[in-house]
Amino acid sequence: MHADTFIQTLFLIFTGAALIATVALFLRQALPVAYILLGMIIGPWGLGLTADAAVVDGMAEIGIIFLLFLLGLNLEPRELLQMLREAVAITAVTCIAFAAAGIAIGLLFGLDWLQALLVGLAMMFSSTIIGLKLLPTSSLHHQRMGEIIIAVLLLQDIIAIALILFIQGSADSANPMLDVGLLLLSAPLLFLLSFVIARYALMPLMQRFDRIQEYVFLLTIGWCLAIAYIGHLIGLSYEIAAFLAGVSIATNPVSRFIAETLKPLRDFFLIIFFVALGAGFNMGILPQIALPAATLAVTMLVLKPLVFGWALSRHRERPPVAREIGLRLGQVSEFSLLLALVGLQSGMMTEEASYIIQAATIFTFMVSSYVIVMRVPTPVATNEALRRD
């Protein structure tokens, strides 16, 4: 990619984002929604201004990598295991409910059983990006709400990754279950390797040169991306490997400083993520799948907050906390988009089913982001009373 094209892409994303964010703030709209709309406008199926969508997608993926790395930095291994144990029942019940609703809607609109099943499975997950990006730091680190949201999202992400690996394996493997099992075993091994290297090499270096902030920043970025790349080489996703890299150094006091230092870098790439999300949607097929996608999206937007609220209340969570968690998790996930893409590429999913999932996911992203920003505390709230960082 030529330098001029790269600069042009960054210009379109950030100058466009600044302009559309200004308009959105005056109109009291949610900023993530504005970024998605910008992507639709400048993308291949809008004005066609983005010259290389693959580069935009690559930069967007870096944003997710840093987001999960920062999440790992704030979770000590013991705390993580305790949270996951508590969230298993909630995650299982809610995933089954959402999958059943998705399957029913797929069958209602004439999809065969396999396609309806894939649509239902894609509906099980909530967005890690929206769930964490729009959660105030104080809630994320220190409150029960943050612990529950993180645990549920992590379990959902593990299920989503297993499904994606299974679909990928089904396309070119004689024994996809074995391949998935091997990959799931590779995650603990990668964490063990990361923990050993971090304890005996990375942390001593940071403690010796902790006054040189530039060095700590550089070492942290290198650590995150190195483990992410190693994870990719052994079959894991970059994002999960980056999360493991963060957890491996979470016990060190310097992890809190690192988390604060990397926030601007994370936000830089997450803006690209939302723009890439809008740019990647083929609006030409929208008339064909508008009704089933809208039905699916509205059902999830209504059902998810209610089911999460009910399940958490049964788990003895306070009703206000249960309702707010349900609201924050009331959308479909970016992993659903990945599942739709992988399913289409593998030949397991039809184009119709894939785009139904994509359209429904983007619609829930937009509506849920708007509702969250307008009704509960977030770092990007337009209402001063609700703004929390």
Which tens digits make up the pLDDT trace of 193-246?
888 888 888 888 877 887 787 888 888 888 888 988 988 887 777 777 888 888
**pLDDT bracket for residue 94 (50, 70, 90):** very high
Residues 103-131: what's their mean pLDDT?
Answer: 92
Q: In this predicted structure, what is the pLDDT of residue 2?
A: 60
Summarised one tens digit per residue, pLDDT across range 252-288 is 777 667 777 777 777 787 788 778 777 777 777 888 8
Q: Indicate whether 357 belongs to any domain.
A: yes
Tokens matching residue 156:
């959902």
Q: In this predicted structure, what is the pLDDT of residue 105?
A: 95
How many structural domains comprise the chain? 1
d(C-alpha 141, C-alpha 64), whole Å: 19
Cα dihedral 129, 131, 134, 140 sign: negative
Q: Indicate whether 20 belongs to any domain.
A: no
d(C-alpha 290, C-alpha 356), whole Å: 8
Q: Is 378 helix (H, G, I), strand (E, B) or coil?
A: strand
d(C-alpha 257, C-alpha 381), whole Å: 25
- Among 203, 253, 329, 265, smallest CA distance to 74 is for 253
Summarised one tens digit per residue, pLDDT across range 6-62 is 777 788 888 998 999 898 877 766 677 788 888 888 877 777 776 566 666 666 677
Please name the residues in contact with 377: beta carbons below 8 A apart, sequence gap of 6 or more: 136, 139, 386, 387, 388
Residues 280-307: what's their mean pLDDT?
Answer: 89
Tokens matching residue 215:
């060095």
Q: Indicate whether 306 belongs to any domain.
A: yes
**Count of helix runs (H) and strand runs (E) in the chain:** 17, 0
| CATH number, residue 275 | 1.20.1530.20
d(C-alpha 168, C-alpha 152), whole Å: 24
Please name the residues in contact with 298: beta carbons below 8 A apart, sequence gap of 6 or more: none
* Number of other CB atoms surrounding residue 82 within 10 Å: 13
Q: What are the φ/ψ torsions at residue 27 (nearest 5 degrees)? A: -90, 5
More confident residue, 268 or 92: 92
Q: Indicate whether 385 belongs to any domain.
A: no
Summarised one tens digit per residue, pLDDT across range 362-371 is 889 888 888 8
Summarised one tens digit per residue, pLDDT across range 60-86 is 677 777 777 877 776 666 666 776 677
Q: Indicate whether 132 belongs to any domain.
A: yes
Domain residues for 130? 61-374
Q: pTM value? A: 0.74
Residue-wise DSSP of 28-43: T--HHHHHHHHHHHHS
Q: Indicate whether 29 belongs to any domain.
A: no
**Of 176-180, 243-247, 384-388, the least confident:** 176-180
Q: In this predicted structure, what is the pLDDT of residue 184?
A: 64
Residue 387 forms beta bridges with which residues?
A: 378
Q: Indicate whether 233 belongs to any domain.
A: yes
Rounded alpha-carbon distances, angstroms, from residue 10 to 7, 15, 39: 5, 8, 12
Share of the chain above pLDDT 90, in %: 19
Q: Indicate whether 30 belongs to any domain.
A: no
Q: In this predicted structure, what is the pLDDT of residue 215?
A: 84
Summarised one tens digit per residue, pLDDT across range 348-358 is 889 889 989 98
d(C-alpha 192, C-alpha 157), whole Å: 20
Q: Taking 60 as the threshold, does the pLDDT of residue 139 lie above it? A: no
d(C-alpha 301, C-alpha 102), whole Å: 12
Q: Are 69 and 243 in contact, with CB atoms under 8 Å apart? A: yes
Q: In this predicted structure, what is the pLDDT of residue 321?
A: 86
Q: Is 387 helix (H, G, I), strand (E, B) or coil?
A: strand
Share of the chain above pLDDT 70, in %: 82
Looking up tokens 């008339």, which residue turns up? 287
Residue-wise DSSP of 322-336: HHHHHHHT-S--HHH
